[in-house]
Amino acid sequence: MNAAARRPRRTPGKAKFAPEFYLNRELGLLSFNRRVLAQAENRAHPLLERLRFLCIVSSNLDEFFEIRVAGLQAEIEAGSVPVYPDQLRPEQVYKQVAAEARELVARQYELLNKEVLPGLEQAGIRFLRRSEFTSQQAEWMKGYFLREVMPVLTPIGLDPAHPFPRVLNKSLNFAVELEGKDAFGRNSGIAIVQAPRVLPRVIRLPQDVAGAEYDFVFLSSILHEHVNELFSGMKVLGCYQFRLTRNSDLFVDEEEVKDLRTALRGELPHRHFGDEVRLEVADNCSQHISNYLLMQFKLDEADLYRVDGPVNLARVISVPDWVDRPDLKFPQFRPGLPRRLENVADLFGVIRNSDVLLHHPYQSFQPVIAFLHQAARDPAVAAIKMTVYRTGTESELMEQLINAARSGKEVTVVLELMARFDEEANINWAQQLEEVGAHVVYGVVGHKTHAKMLMVLRREGEGLRRYIHLSTGNYHHRTARLYTDFGLFTCNEEIGNDVAEVFMQLTGLGRATKLRHLRQAPFTLHKEMIRAIENETAIARAGRKGQIIAKMNSLLETEVVGALYEASKAGVQIDLVVRGVCALRAGVPGLSENIRVISVIGRFLEHTRVFYFHNDGAEDVYLSSADWMDRNFFGRVEICFPVLDSDLKQRVIAEGLRPYLDDNTQAWTMGDDGQYVCRAPGRAKPVSAQEQLLALLAVKIDV
C-alpha cells in the first residue's frame, strides 16, 4: 500500500461556509507554480535567471508529483470520500491537476525552446544539438562517450532472463528499439539503458573544441548519438528518453519503532522505488514505446507527460552558476549588517544592551555563525541548545556545535530526522554529534520539530544568562542567501525562560507549562491566533479600527479561514501576503470584501512569517516558524514570538509588511474567482519590495 494512504492525518476542522468559498490545495500549488513560471516569461529578467526559474518550476513539480499527486492517487485507490472544505472528490482534483499540469509543462518547454535557449545562443551560451556538431566536436564527444560514459552503462536487453529493470525515482533512462539478433540469437526488439547518477547531465565542452567559451551538450544528446556502440551488429530503430516519478513520502511508524534513526535509515532506500506516479517521455517517443512503458509501470495515459526537450530539466539548474556572465544574471550584492554589529568582536555584549534583528538575505547570516563560533570557544559558556530542521550536507553551524562539544561544553541538539528530503543529511549530522559527546534527541513522537531556536547559557556575575536566537527560517547558510527570513537575538529574561521551557519539553518529560511570551504549537498557537483575529473582530464591531496583516507561505487551516471571513464581515481590514497556496477566497461581496490576498514572487523565495494585529493601536507583531496550516498548528512543534522592542517592531512592519502591500511589479492579487492577476504599475512609479529592501539593507557590488 502507498505510504500516503497509510499515513494517519488530522481531519480538517468543520467548515462554517459553503464549499465554493474554500480553494483546493493541489490546484493552489499549481497556481503558485504558474506564478513562478511567469518569472521565466518576464523578458525584463536576465536570461540565465529565466533559465533558473524554468528549472525551479521543474523541481517544484517533481515534489508536487512525488508528494501531493502520489497522495491523490492513494486516496483514489482507497476510495476516500471528500474530507476537505472544498468538498472535491480526489478523482475530481486529479483530473483537474493532470489537465493544468500538462498545460504548465507545455508552456515551460515552449519558453525554453522559443525564447530562453535562442536568447542564450545569441549571447554566446549554446546547448548544442546533434545536428549542429562540427566534425571536431563530434570526434571529441565520441571519445568522451567511449571513455567516460560507455564503461559505466549497463544496457539491458529485455527477454525472459532479463526482465524490465527497476527504475530509480527521477533517474534518466532510455528505451531503445532494436532490429536484428545478438550473439546468442536473441531478438527482443527493445532494451533499456539507465544513465547512472555519477554521470553529469550537462557537459561543458573544452573551449578549443567548442570554439566558444560556453558551449554545453546534454548527456542525452551524446548517448543518442552513440547508442549504436552499445548494441554491436544490431540496428537501432529509435532511442527515447524517459523519466519516472515515484511516491517519495516516507512512512515510519514512530510509535512502533524503538530506534527512529535506524528505522528511517532503513526506509530511505525505498524512496527511490516507491509507487509509480508520473512518466515523462521525449516528444519523439513512439506511441508503441510509450504504451509499453505505461504498461510496465502500471500507469494510465493521464499519467504520461510528453516534453519537447530534456526530461530532467531540473538538472540544468547548475548551468547559471557555471557561467561567469554577470550581465545575464541579477545584479550582485553583499548582505549588509545592522550598524551595531559592524566591526564587533563581542556579540554577547551587543545583545546584552538590546535586541538585534536580522533581515535575510538583505542582511548577512554571518552574525548567526559568529554567535555560535564565539559561544563554542568562550570559556564562560556552559551549554548550547539548538533545534535543527534543515541545515544542509555542509554546515559551519554544525561544525561549531561539534567544536563546542569537543571543548567540553554541554551541547544539546533537537534534530528533526523527518525533514523531508533532508533525512539523510540529518542522520549523518546526528551521528557526528553523538561521536563527540553531544546530546542528540529527535523531538516528540508524532510531531515534527519545526521551531527555530538557539540558546546559549553563559556564566556572568552571580549566575547564568540566556542568550537567544529565534528565527522564521532554517539554520542553513545557503538558503539564507536565497530565502527571506527574520532572525532575532535577545537577552530578554522572560523569552529566555520560555525558550528553556520548550527545550525541556522536547528533551524530557512533563506537562506543558504556560509560556509568558511564546505561542507554541501544538498547544497554544492555534487558539491564540484565533483569539487575536476574534479580538480584531470585536474591536471592529464596536466601531473602532480593526486591522490584520499577515505574511506567510501558505494559508489552509479551516478555522482560521472561517475566523478571517467573520472578521471581514465585521469590517476588519485584512491584508494577507501568501506566497503559495491560500484556501481563502478574497474579495467575495458580503463575505471577504475586506480581505486582500497578495502573492509576491521574485528573485528571492518569500519565507518570512509575520503576523500583525492592530489591537486598538498597540500594534502586536509576531514572527513565527509556522504557516497557518493544519500540520503547523497540530502536527509540529512550532514557535511564534513577539517583537517587543518598539524600534524593531516598526522595522518589521516597515520591512516585512509595508513594501509587499505597495509592490506593483512582482505582486499578484487574488480575484474573487480565486485566480491571480499580476499587478502592473501603469502610470505609477514601479515598486518592487525585494528591490526596495536590497537598496535599503544590502551593499551593491559593482562589476
Catalytically active residues, by annotation: 450
As given in the structure block, the three cell numbers for residue 360 are 535575510
The one-letter amino acid code at 15 reads A
Torsion of CA 35, 115, 321, 421, to 10 degrees: 40
Are 410 and 456 in contact by the 8 Å Cβ rule? The answer is no
List the one residue out of 366, 372, 396 whose CA is nearest residue 456: 372
Are 216 and 124 in contact by the 8 Å Cβ rule? The answer is no
Q: What is the DSSP letter of 330?
A: P
- 3-class secondary structure per residue, 567-587: HHHCCCEEEEEECCCECECCC
- Between β-strands 235-246 and 173-179, what pairing exists: parallel, antiparallel or unpaired? antiparallel
> Which of 527, 487, 507, 447 lies closest to 651 in space, CA to CA?
487
Query: CA-CA distance, 56 to 318, in Å (whole number)?
Result: 11
User: CA–CA distance from 353 to each of 211, 382, 467, 491 (Å)?
Assistant: 60, 21, 12, 8
Three-class SS state of 486: strand
Phi-psi region of 200 (alpha: psi -120 to 50; beta: other; left: phi over 0): beta
Signed CA dihedral, 227, 230, 235, 239: sign only: negative
598 close to 619: Cβ distance less than 8 angstroms: no
Report residue 338: phi and psi, to 5°.
-60, 145
Which residues neighbour 683 within 8 Å (Cβ) at sequence distance 6 or greater?
none
Total residue count of the chain as it appears in this document: 703
Long-range contacts from 72-75, C-beta under 8 angstroms, 24+ separation = 72/26, 72/97, 73/2, 73/247, 73/275, 73/277, 74/1, 74/2, 74/3, 74/4, 74/5, 74/247, 74/275, 75/4, 75/5
CA distance 534 to 532: 5
Per residue, what are the HEC states of 449-485? ECCCEEEEEEEECCEEEEEEEEECCCCCCCHHHCEEE
3-state secondary structure 497-511: HHHHHHHHHHHCCCC
Bridge partners (DSSP) listed for residue 678: 668
How far is the C-alpha of 309 from the C-alpha of 317, rounded, in Å? Answer: 15
CB of 567 closer than 8 Å to CB of 529: no
Q: Do 80 and 73 form a contact (C-beta atoms < 8 A)? A: no
The radius of gyration of the chain's CA atoms, rounded to the nearest angstrom, is 27
Nearest C-alpha neighbor of 201 from the set 171, 177, 169: 171
The rounded distance, in Å, linking the Cα atoms of 222 and 141 is 7
